[in-house]
Amino acid sequence: MPVEFIKKYIDYIALHKLNFFHWHLTDDQGWRIEIKKYPKLTDVGAWRNGTIIGPYPGTGNDGLHYGGYYTQEQVKEIVAYAAKRHVEVIPEIEMPGHASAAIAAYPYLSCFPGQSTFVDAKTPLNGSREGKQVQQTWGVFDDVFCAGKESTFGFLEDVVSEVMPLFPSKYFHVGGDESPKKHWEKCPNCQRRIKDLKIKGDKKHPAEHYLQSYFIQRMEKFLNKNGKSLIGWDEILEGGLAPNAIVMSWRGEEGGIAAAKENHFVIMTPGSYAYFDHQQEKHDDSVTFSNNRWYLPIEKVYSWKVVPQVLSASQKHFIMGPQANLWTEQMKSPAKVEYMLFPRIAALSEVGWTQQANRDFAEFNNRLQMQIKRYDLWGVNHFYKNK
Ligand code: ACM
Ligand code: ZN
């Protein structure tokens, strides 16, 4: 998305009294932030040879060389713009999974640098299938950062060291989600690490599950030493939480509940209430990530009880608040982002700032009519337009 639109988006956030912008900067399909020590992250990792058309496996490949990234100067400009509007920007650098773009740039980060990126036969890839690739479709991929090699941690500490000064926030998100253990199981370096650390598997989980915890704990130590608090998706519960980690609960509420019970702070963002990449009505008129499998109407967002009732009063204190996620893999333009965001963002705001007992959708919906008029005056491409 263009820098100018990111600023507009921050205006929208501020106008709805939301106070954080979580910026997902790296993934399998592109690395989106300049790192001066590792120029290939953006020379190579920010670009892909094409994109599948439509939802996976797609009807073909658009064959377009696609990419881009934010320079550190642009990042600073955006962070300052947000700060003026009382919005704090939290960066996310994904590890150990969702690492295909980084690995395409620096194959040594993989357990198997010489092995071509696995792309299943169904995926209509444009260009060569040889060597490491930036992914052209969406999903979960096996080629993750190697947890055995010291060079992986050297790289990640260097990257984090360049990213931290750009973001005054005390929070730093390390991803942690959807990281398959298939390569770690076969990798001699990862297996040596498991042996050295005397990590044992048990009836419930193999040793590699606990290696995820080692990975995150090691990064937490580095972040804490630099005055930052680690946030991770709820998979960071795997193998035991890092001592000060904040959990972002996305696969339902369970991860958040488990973390709060262990006296860890939690941000709630369960898929069933908070994924704004899901369409807003049952049969939507455009391609979305959920593609008619799920839908998230504004009524559902408004019905969200952010603080799980099963928690005790003291545990409830650990729930920091709600977040919604707007993943843009099926949003090719700012207009589409607005279409997915509005008016659900209004419901998100009230869910965050009002008491559940005081919320009544009919009453909210009455007030929403005036808000829609504001959106129209702003020229926002909201969902209700032309409905
Ligand atoms: C996620 O949606 N994979 C955090
Ligand atoms: Zn490995």
Catalytic residue among 98, 264, 278, 382: 98
Q: Walk along the chain (387 residues) and give the pLDDT tens digit of each residue.
A: 999 999 999 999 999 999 999 999 999 999 999 999 999 999 999 999 999 998 888 899 999 999 999 999 999 999 999 999 999 999 999 999 999 999 999 999 999 999 999 999 999 999 999 999 999 999 999 999 999 999 999 999 999 999 999 999 999 999 999 999 999 999 999 999 999 999 999 999 999 999 999 999 999 999 999 999 999 999 999 999 999 999 999 999 999 999 999 999 999 999 999 999 999 998 877 888 877 788 999 999 999 999 999 999 999 999 999 999 999 999 999 999 999 999 999 999 999 999 988 899 999 999 999 999 999 999 999 999 877
387 within domain boundaries? no
Domain that holds residue 217: 1-229
Catalytic residue among 157, 158, 178, 262: 178
Q: How far is the CA of 374 from the centre of ligand 1 (A)?
A: 32
- Reported in sequence order, the residue ranges of 118-218 that DSSP labels E, i.e. its strands, are 171-175
Annotation says 253 is catalytic: no
Q: Indicate which CATH number applies to the domain containing 11.
A: 3.20.20.80
- Phi, psi for residue 27 in degrees, rounded to 5: -165, -175
Catalytic residue among 16, 22, 24, 27: 27
347 within domain boundaries? no
Tally of domains within the chain: 1
Mutate to test the pocket of ligand 1, among 98, 178, 248, 290 (most ligand atoms within 8 A of CB): 178
Q: How far is the CA of 67 from the centre of ligand 1 (A)?
A: 21
* DSSP track, 50-83: --BSSSTT-S-B----EE--B-HHHHHHHHHHHH
Q: Which of 223, 175, 177, 215 is closest to 194 using CA atoms?
A: 215
15 within domain boundaries? yes
Residues 164 and 156 sit within 8 Å (Cβ to Cβ): no
243 within domain boundaries? no
Residues 237 and 212 sit within 8 Å (Cβ to Cβ): no
24 within domain boundaries? yes
384 within domain boundaries? no
For the CA of 327, the closest atom of ligand 1 is 2
Measured distance CA(180)–CA(199) in Å, rounded: 18
Annotation says 98 is catalytic: yes
Reported pTM = 0.97
Burial of 221 (0-12, 13-18, 19+ CB in 10 A): middle
Residue found by looking up tokens 């690739």 in the block: 133
254 within domain boundaries? no
H helix count then E strand count, the chain: 15, 11
Measured distance CA(69)–CA(326) in Å, rounded: 18
The C-alpha R_g of the chain, in whole angstroms, comes to 21
Measured distance CA(368)–CA(343) in Å, rounded: 8
Residues near ligand 1 (Cβ within 6 A): 177-178, 233, 250
Q: Is-cis flag, bond preceding 343, omega within 30?
A: yes
Annotation says 205 is catalytic: no
156 within domain boundaries? yes
